[in-house]
Structure 1
Amino acid sequence: MRDLFIGLMSGTSMDGVDGVLAGFSTGRPQVLQHASAPFPDGLRAELMALNTSGPDELHRAWLAGNALMRVYADVVHALLAHAQLPASAVQAIGAHGQTVRHRPQQFDGTGYTIQLAQPALLAELSGIEVVADFRSRDVAAGGQGAPLAPFFHQEVFGRSGHAVGVLNIGGISNITLLRADGSMRGFDCGPGNALMDDWCAQHTGAPYDDDGRWAASGHVQDPLLARLLAEPYFALPPPKSTGRDLFNRPWLEAHLQSFRHLAPVDVQATLTELTARAIASEAKRHAPQLEELIVCGGGALNGHLMRRLQALLPGARVSSSGDHGIPPMQVEAAAFAWLARKAVRGEKLELTSTTGAHGARVLGGIYPA
């Protein structure tokens, strides 16, 4: 048996789905195929809208989940076609779903996290067992529900006796700190691409700032940057997690009230600097001996942002995950293939040092084919 799993990830950037076919025959994950699919405009607009309260939410969310699973299924079929494999060759799919609310430990002490998905539908469409809803058990156990990838990062990127950071910059940025003594910590730093992408789309019509060129042509506005960095989330100690519930367009608009005179390009430069500063500050505070920062997610493709991270962290080498064997847009999907394998094997993950959960738990619900 080739020990094959598929991982599917659609993150807070809400631009589409990345999928990988991963093999575990050697025990370590190996990405064998990659496929992706963009969200149709209508689905992306609906997913974005469902991040805030609105009319008929339950009905709309369920239908959006159905539509999302059809995009997921398209990616699964593409992976199988590329690999020339039948569905029966894959043991399970790890399907993250689309986060639309993330409020752990709030309201009643437990809170909730919502990833839209209809795993039963995906099992029907693919003919493969599906593992989904990875975050809820961690929240139920007193955790933040995020990040869940640190143990995967440790297995793939860790180096014994060295201090290494693994940074995923999607819509939100999250970091795994792998210390030289073997200890580990992981948490959300703050905004990643979400604010930058939204501002760029509004003012240029482009879905994102290609290579950070627009931001690089502007000037960071220090008073605005100081206002943004005063957000209390940045001062919170880990474990902590966040999402579009906090770092969203209304949050930005509220801070821009006194800065309407600024050119849009200078706001973009400042938002990029915000992402870089928030990340660098957390790295310095919690891993002052960091030797290397390995970056994945869409932010790794932003040359200007990568250069700012290197400038802010002169003692560490800032590199792309592609330099270490897995291209940036494949890492998170590979992590959910790995998590699916853990769930199928009934293996618990001890996430206390990252999410703050009360103990080791098996993450994910299983939907047989």
Structure 2
Amino acid sequence: CTARATVIGFSSRIASKTREEHMFLPSEHDNLTDAIQLQIVSSLRVTPAYVLLVSHREAQETLAVSGGTCFLDASTNDTHVVQIVQHPGKALCSQLILGARGLGSAVVTIQDIGLSPRVSTSSLVRVANVDWIQILSEEHISIMEGTTKDFQISAGTQDGQVFRGSQYKYMGIEVHLGDEILDHVNPSESLDGPKFSVKAAKTGTTSLYVSTKQRSGQRVLSQVINVEVYKPLRIHPEYIYLTPGASFVLSVKGGPKIGVSIEYTSLNVGTLEVQSATGKLSAKTVGNSTVRAAVLANGGTVICEAFGRVEVGIPVAMALSTQSDRLCIGCSMPIYPSVPKGDPFSFYETCQSYTWMIADQKVVTFQSARSWQNG
């Protein structure tokens, strides 16, 4: 902007009993004018004001500089702790790159020499060892076979300071897997951030943890995470045909087994009722319904779910099922009624007794299922 000052006259103060007057004496030769151009800049700032570097010879961090002019000068009060890798220049005056030298703390000061008087700002830099590292996860988790799971990592110092995400690539973090149940995704690549991924290769239980190495060579270990890899959850059977009044107990295959519970629900309670804890179905009226089985963690969180279909109807025909149409003399063979759409469980508890008729009892005789099983 331009600041301009002009003198348009001189005044004399005339005092009277009642008032003061200012008298201006306009005259062309009395006008005095001057101007100056000013550059308005915002306050000089550096972000972050506190930097925590890993004690590693290649560890670096970038400071963002805002405000002021592009005539900047940076310095540190302890070059044994931190060094200035890249000074802010005219081409890129918005950032400053620092490098770790040794353990300790130092102050990095940035001065704006383009202003008069000069202004400055500073950032406190600390170079420290990794004293602890942890996986941000529950102690026990479940992963479905064939899926990938991401894990976040946090690392810091004894006094509770936490390293920024840019520092993890200098920590030399290793992922330790118990066996071949889990596969490390991209194991040949070093971790460039506070996360890693594993893939569930096959079912079973295993464990994992991570570690990092201090500059002295001492290894720092995280906590151990127990992992269960399970097959996809399925309702068994996925389809069932029931007659009104019949009941059947569902079961599930696959899904996690440790520290979980299973909850069953019917999406059409007018047609089908289900006991939430046991999975026992009770057919009420003709129609169709979907049954849902959900695996819940201790806190009630749904881990996985599966669905099955139940049809409730009245069979229009019934047939007898046998193992063969031939029977040797003195031999026994089970025979039971069946319906076109279901099996004997379809009308379980609806038909308590049957009337069996044999055309020629001299050829074959009938035994109840109980007496036949007892031999």
More helix by share: 1
Asked which structure has the greater CA Rg, the reply is 2
Normalization by structure 2: what TM-score?
0.20
Of Structure 1 and Structure 2, the greater strand share is in 2
TM-score normalized by the length of structure 1: 0.20
- By relative contact order (CA 8 Å, sep 6+), the higher-ranking structure is 1
